[in-house]
Chains A and B, each alone.
Chain A
């Protein structure tokens, strides 16, 4: 199936641990994103990569480090996890994101719970 996929779907971990979330898209898109959805369902962009280059970094703590090994993958690594990092993280992709007018396709989300 053509889609945006994320692994894992659920992630439960202890405070202070380091964890990664993986995202892959097979839509041939150039731009990928990470969004965070908090417990009140509020969605906020964290990062965006265009052709493996970081183009948006929305004042996210530097404990969060995105990595894009190629334009089909955008992984999110989180160091020293804190309680406030508990959220649902969504990956998305779009064609040539610089114009602002392209639909973003979202993955199913990764629910991160920090204990």
Chain B
């Protein structure tokens, strides 16, 4: 069965520091991969997605993610974090066929001033 693992439940970084959020997936073929962000009390917003092609994808708000097939990973990165980036981040996979999203457990990001 397909699954998504986000090993870090909670991460705290200082404003201006770099950020990497980890995501590993379990799926037989190359899945469609997504990162969503959820601000407190809000719905989910898509940051970026990977379907095929260039394994480094750029998203909104200065985020990028790299797909590594050999490691079954799709880690999210940002070179310099802003206080407004504090939120819950979800990695998700769509196994194709039917467009359901399978989510990881999320990583809560806190940003220190």
Which A residues are closer than 8 A to B by beta carbons? 4, 31, 33, 35, 40-45, 48, 55-56, 58, 90, 92, 94, 97-109
Contacts and interface: CB of A to CB of B under 8 A. Distances in A.
B44 A90 contact: yes
B71 interface: no
Shortest 5 CB-CB contacts between residues of A and residues of B: A97-B99, A100-B96, A106-B43, A43-B103, A106-B44
Interface residues of B, number: 27
Interface of B: 31-32, 34, 36, 38, 42-46, 49, 51, 88, 90, 94-103, 105-106, 108
Contacts, number: 71
A55 B98 CA distance: 8
Contact of A109 (B43, B97, B102): B43
A45 B101 contact: yes
